[in-house]
Structure 1
Amino acid sequence: MEPDRSFSGRRALVTGAGKGIGRAAALALSGAGAQVIALSRTQADLQSLEGTGIETLCVDLGDWDATEAALSKVGAIDLLVNNAAVSVLQPFLEVTKEAFDRSFDVNLRAVFHVSQIIARQMIARGVQGVIVNISSQASQRALQDHAVYCSTKSALDMLTKVMALELGPHKIRVNSVNPTVVMTDMGRINWSEPQKAAAMISRIPLRKFAEVDDVVNSILFLLSDKSAMTTGVSLPVDGGFLVS
């Protein structure tokens, strides 16, 4: 079978690409022919991508000025995956200013800023760019101790819609992917307690958590020409959680 080269000739930027979904998406895009820039705030995580042909960029997206400086040098980008995020879980009555500010800085403001920078140069080049924001089922369902995280992801879904509305006339599509719990290395650790995992799985009609490939396949679909008429949607990858 011929290898998939459906993204040949395109340059992709993936944020939060040092581990988990972001790393897997960067590798999948590279394997499908794209020239990929993997961005992370942790240099040690990026080192695992050495030798893959993927270019790496170390910057903390919570730092507005550093982000502006770093992205001014990345060159032309056709595909953007806004994956970088933080999750600080606290009961509503105990949410700290630090947790609130850090969560919104990374989960929303950074997406806003990175997308502005990349979309402006997409428009200047006249390309039909694509942006995929990684959201969550938590954008649409209240979860215990997730007051800040749920709020950031709900805001991200609406940002996705407004971006799609305003960037559509420039032939730029914008969508989000909204996973349930994903079995990344971190996901396996966070959901290793059987009682906690069983309580969540019982609310998922397919009775299982998502694997990383489930999310990556949806990202690739939304980045590809196969979804050329799809923009402004939030695509659940949740095993039916949001319908239960």
Structure 2
Amino acid sequence: YSIFMCLLMSCISGIGRATALALARCGANVTAVTRTQTDLDSLVQECPSISPVCVDLADWDATDAALQNIGTIDLLVNNAARTSLQPFLEVTQDQFDQTFSVNVKSVLHVSQIVARGMKARGSGGSIVNVSSQASQCALRDHAVYCASKGAVDTLTKVMALELGPFQIRVNAVNPTVVMTEMGHLAWSDPEKSKKMTSRIPLGRFAEVEDVVNTILFLLSDKSNMINGITLPVDGGFLAC
């Protein structure tokens, strides 16, 4: 398979970088996309087989130009995301527009580009959108982020409905707090983390590998009859 990785979050650490490296280790031809050249340079230094593309996925025209000759893509992971925490009554138009441009519009746009190629070739494919448990559970100061991930979940289902006849599967993964480098920084305070882990039956946050392994499963032939789902990777948080 040829793998197309769509990354906007830092390639220095986190789910995006770990997924790109895992796919490369599986023998995939990986194209990694992010807006920060230094992150791409670091990723390629670690894994020279990865093809880098530097573009801001929130820019529709620039994305078109950057991906117009991307080649044959069999699998796609949409991992681009941003967040800016604001109380509901203080949400600004600018923050709303920026968050939805990255978290929702870029998912739709990149998926259109890739799915058109999949349809034309008639060989099917698999798309995984990285969502969040925040799509299904209200979190304080996360009004715009929660709304954007809720949009990703519903977009995933519509994509599954419309692309399914072309044997293109579309699914989402919905992680809880993940212990990336940023996750460790944000949740290092035991009192703060206890408030969240106490609501997770397994009593802990997710590790990066927990999310990566789920993404690999949904991309693989092992999930051939799974389409249109939003799969929590949350230790039971949403179940309770």
TM-score by length of 2: 0.96
Q: What amino acid is the match of 2:24?
A: S
What secondary structure is seen at the aligned counterpart in 2 of 1:50? helix
Alignment of 1:33-44 (within 5 A): 33-44=27-38
Whole-angstrom CA distance in 1 between matches of 2:187 and 2:106: 27
Q: What amino acid is the match of 1:38?
A: A
1:7-52 deviation per Cα after TM superposition (whole angstroms, max 9, x unaligned): xx43333323623101100100010011000111111111111241
Alignment of 1:46-85 (within 5 A): 46-51=40-45, 52=47, 53-85=49-81
- Corresponding residue for 1:151? 147
Amino-acid identity (%): 64
Q: Is the 8 A contact 1:137 1:179 kept in 2?
A: yes
Whole-angstrom CA distance in 1 between matches of 2:124 and 2:156: 17
What secondary structure is seen at the aligned counterpart in 1 of 2:64? helix
Query: Pick from 104, 108, 111: which aligns with 2:104?
Result: 108
Alignment of 1:97-176 (within 5 A): 97-176=93-172
CA RMSD between the two structures: 1.0
Matched, 1:29 2:23: yes
What secondary structure is seen at the aligned counterpart in 1 of 2:199? coil
Query: Pick from 198, 223, 227: which aligns with 1:227?
Result: 223
Q: What amino acid is the match of 1:173?
A: R
Q: What amino acid is the match of 1:224?
A: S
1:117-144 deviation per Cα after TM superposition (whole angstroms, max 9, x unaligned): 1100111111221000000000000000
Whole-angstrom CA distance in 2 between matches of 1:30 and 1:14: 14
1:190 offset after TM fit, Å? 1.2
Runs of 4+ in structure 1 off by over 6 angstroms are none
Q: Is the 8 A contact 2:23 2:30 kept in 1?
A: yes
Whole-angstrom CA distance in 1 between matches of 2:79 and 2:2: 19
1:171 offset after TM fit, Å? 0.4
Whole-angstrom CA distance in 1 between matches of 2:137 and 2:50: 36
> Relative to structure 2, which stretch is displaced further, 189-198 or 57-66?
189-198
> Relative to structure 2, which stretch is displaced further, 197-206 or 17-26?
17-26
Matched, 1:190 2:179: no
1:138-190 deviation per Cα after TM superposition (whole angstroms, max 9, x unaligned): 00000000000000000100000000000000000000000000001111111
What secondary structure is seen at the aligned counterpart in 2 of 1:243? coil
Number of residue equivalences: 236
Q: Is the 8 A contact 1:16 1:23 kept in 2?
A: no
